[in-house]
Structure 1
């Protein structure tokens, strides 16, 4: 969770500081043009592509745990660069390093948690760590208006450093040990996580799950590219496509600027902080419900709520263009963004990470992680980078209505293509998918 909070702080940095760095009134060490701000907002996601690639290559040989620890290094470096930033280039480097660290971490974290968790709580555990990222975003939104960029960097170093110290005390995944033939260490690891003396039955299931798995990355790639195996990552990437078609990367980064343009009568930074807190509440609700209602149900509810919220946000800017009184409309963008945050955080954000940790055989996990995580990062980069040009081209109203229509198409997609994995062990999931 400390790693996720550190990653969330990097995401939460964008909304308050982009608003300040592009303002002529704020007392900041440098000023950004709209184009520079667009790059600062999106370079984190480009770094995630590099991080996902490094993570997949390293996991194969050194394991999930060491990759997660290595991911802390670029995150720490990013805050050091942010503290030292006197030109926009320092910010570019800082955001890119944040992306590398986040990409390494998220590509390994879902797999690590899926391998150590009991099937009854696996979805909740992964959702909890996604929600921890929301906690980091909330803290970033809350601290941003009151701390200098330099002080924000010093504060944000703390969770990353603590994570590297404390996580080094936790065992590697038993799957990794079994994959490399170290049965004694695998059993010791499983006992540590289960707090039970007898884990022989589960060890047999794990052994069955990893039997026949290759460690040669080129043989894995060849097997991964077979049509029957390629279908599953493409299905998960499809969910991410709809997530980013909602524009959430851009909306989170530009939240304060959106509210300022919406001419609300409440301080925008305060509203953004409240929105961040509501995201945590929604994520906590998802933790409780994901293993009860199931993955598909939450995804469909999340998609419908997200679509409605974007339609309302577009309606607000349409009414402003018709010269309605902005004071009487203050509630509309706030309710729209509140519904957007609640809807995204209860399904479309946490559940794809859960499915990534569940749907693949031991042989395909790393390749799937690389494929999905790098695609996810590229989609996020494209979403954040295209937002400003799209906005300049058609205006706020049609941007948000376009997002609303796009995300609504995810409902039939989820209903017909996403398998239900709730409550099943990893070996049971593979059996059901083969059927």
Structure 2
């Protein structure tokens, strides 16, 4: 197996291995996020661990508390990342993850289940704030996209496992699977190195050189230029400790922060967590005739396949084009699901010949989200901010993303219960429509531009024309 990996990726195989081991935790958090979809029907059945069947409001809290717990992720990781390093934060995210699986396994009442969901959310928020940063700092420019895609790929594999195992086992069976898989995370991450950037930042240059040599699969002399570049970067950007006020020190930073926060919130307001948490229930409610368990497995498989091709599409088509086209597509297909649900559940039309439509629309939704609305906000955070403020900006965008996700996952089912599932889908469509207008009119294109060119564009600075030789 290892020899096959070496032959496939060449001398840089250690980068792929380190990125995969760091991303493995996202597989476990993906399982915890997808856990609710097959578990909710079981909580209403005779084999539920709870003494009483949960109400609609209680189920909404079970679903949304994971997203609320995600708010703790950037609060924990942003200040600690400068002191204990990326590696220990990646490893530490497994502590609340394991605690969540343990609590879910022994839960016999709702408060215990609520705390388990909060713990899973904390772990998820920590990984979203740390693992992409870790991968970005161990990768080279030419393979950063491929390595970064592993994080999303592992998350989607986790969802697929939850969707594929949950319908065919008990509450405790799925929970035990998630807990056992999470047990491997600490031994796996024990073997990942600290990032060269953090080691240089802490003036541990000899260690940084050794790590670079191993990750690049070359000699100490060959990585000397890269090491000197990191030293120069740290000396230039970190003369003073980064402050939150640095984020609005320039007009360009304010504009970049507004763009990234808006798109990070759009990521959640498009309904992704709602669909992933309540997938089986929604497939039943919108009237599709395929079994809910089969539908969720198909959705999970689509996510995994699409996440494999996302890096290629992002680098070829650009950020702006992907954002406005995918948000427009989400608007159309969410709207169509709403129309179908209105005709099927409200007007009671015979929709038998169109029973395939909701699942087809959801599959296209998942493809479009995974290609554009999902990854682009985090790519823009990495491209629009200087190294000094990138971690702070990512933390704020992540915090607002989780906040929007909590509000929507908490109240989506209330909207559906009070005004119809079709209304809830139309609200999602309107949110995506706003994202389409924003992306088409206000979002700048950063594809192929250097950091200085992006800053000039954000600050509305025009280049002085070069004098023409006579």
Q: TM-score, normalised by structure 1?
A: 0.92
The whole-number CA distance in structure 1 between the counterparts of 2:210 and 2:454 is 29
2:442 corresponds to 1:429: no
Q: How much has 1:47 moved relative to structure 2?
A: 0.6
Q: Which residue of 1 aligns with 2:48?
A: 28
Please give the alpha-carbon distance, in whole angstroms, between the structure 2 residues aligned to 1:26 and 1:275. 28
Does residue 99 in structure 1 map to residue 121 in structure 2? Answer: yes
Cα deviation per residue 1:209-237 (whole Å; 9 max; x = unaligned)?
323444876x5223234353343232111
Q: C-alpha displacement at 1:420, in angstroms? A: 4.4
- Post-superposition, which runs of at least 4 consecutive aligned residues in structure 1 deviate over 6 A? none
Deviates further, 51-60 or 205-214? 205-214
Which of the residues 20, 25, 30 maps onto 1:8?
30
Q: Write the deviation string for residues 290-336 of structure 1: whole angstroms up to 9, x where unpaired.
A: 22333333323321221121011101112112221143332111111
Residue 353 of structure 2 corresponds to 328
**C-alpha separation in 1, matches of 2:162 and 2:328:** 28
1:326–1:371 CA distance, 2 compared to 1 (3 A)? same
More off after superposition, 359-368 vs 333-342:
359-368
Structure 2 residue aligned with 1:200: 224
What CA distance in whole angstroms lies between the structure 2 residues aligned with 1:421 and 1:176?
26
CA contact (8 A) 1:110 1:354 kept: no
Structure 2: how far apart are the matches of 1:63 and 1:417?
36
For the structure 1 residues 145 and 222, does the alpha-carbon distance in structure 2 shift closer, same or farther, using more than 3 Å as the test? Answer: same
Match for 2:404 among 358, 374, 379? Answer: 379
- Range with greater deviation from structure 2 (298-307 or 172-181): 298-307
Counterparts of residues 53-92 of structure 1 (less than 5 Å): 53-92=75-114
> Alpha-carbon deviation of 1:252?
1.6
Q: Do 1:124 and 1:291's aligned partners in 2 also have CA atoms closer than 8 Å?
A: no
Which of the residues 242, 249, 272 maps onto 2:266? 242
Greater shift, 67-76 or 113-122, is seen at 113-122
SS state at 1:124 partner: helix
1:36 shift after superposition: 0.5
Counterpart of 1:308 in structure 2 is 332
Distance in 1, Cα, partners of 2:240 & 2:103: 37
Greater mean alpha carbon deviation, residues 349-358 or residues 140-149: 349-358
Are the aligned partners of 1:291 and 1:422 in contact in 2 as well (CA < 8 Å)?
Answer: yes
Verify the 8 A CA contact 1:303 1:410 in the aligned structure 2.
yes
> Under a length normalisation based on structure 2, what TM-score does the superposition of the two structures give?
0.86
Aligned partners of 1:132, 1:358: CA distance in 2, in Å? Answer: 23
> What is the aligned partner in structure 2 of residue 183 from structure 1?
205
Question: What does residue 386 of structure 2 align with?
Answer: 361
Task: Give the total of aligned pairs.
Answer: 429
1:146-177 deviation digits (Å, cap 9, x = unpaired):
12222222211233222221222111111111
Measured in 2, the distance between the counterparts of 1:341 and 1:413 equals 21
User: In structure 2, what is the Cα distance between the partners aligned to 1:411 and 1:365?
Assistant: 25
Counterpart of 1:189 in 2: which secondary structure? helix
Matched, 1:399 2:424: yes
Query: If you compute each CA radius of gyration, which structure gives the higher value, 1 or 2?
Result: 2
In terms of mean alpha carbon deviation, does 131-140 or 234-243 score higher? 234-243
Match of 2:246 in 1: 223
Q: Which residue of 1 aligns with 2:310?
A: 286
The question of 1:51 aligning with 2:73 is answered: yes
1:116-265 alignment to 2 at 5 Å?
116-197=138-219, 198-214=222-238, 220-228=243-251, 229-265=253-289
Greater RCO, 1 or 2 (C-alpha within 8 Å, sep 6+)? 1
On the 8 A contact 1:56/1:367 being kept in 2, the answer is yes
Contact 2:333 2:365 in 1 (8 A): yes
User: Does the Cα contact within 8 Å between 2:159 and 2:300 map onto a contact in 1?
Assistant: yes
Aligned match of 2:375? 350
Q: Flag structure 1 segments of 5+ consecutive residues without an equivalent.
A: none
Q: Deviations over 1:166-215 (max 9, x none)?
A: 22211111111122222222222222222222123323332333234448
Distance 1:19 1:208, change over 3 A: farther
Structure 1 Cα separation of the partners of residues 441 and 38 of structure 2: 40
Q: How much does 1:50 deviate?
A: 1.1
1:118-147: CA deviations, max 9, x gaps? 222223322231121011011111111112
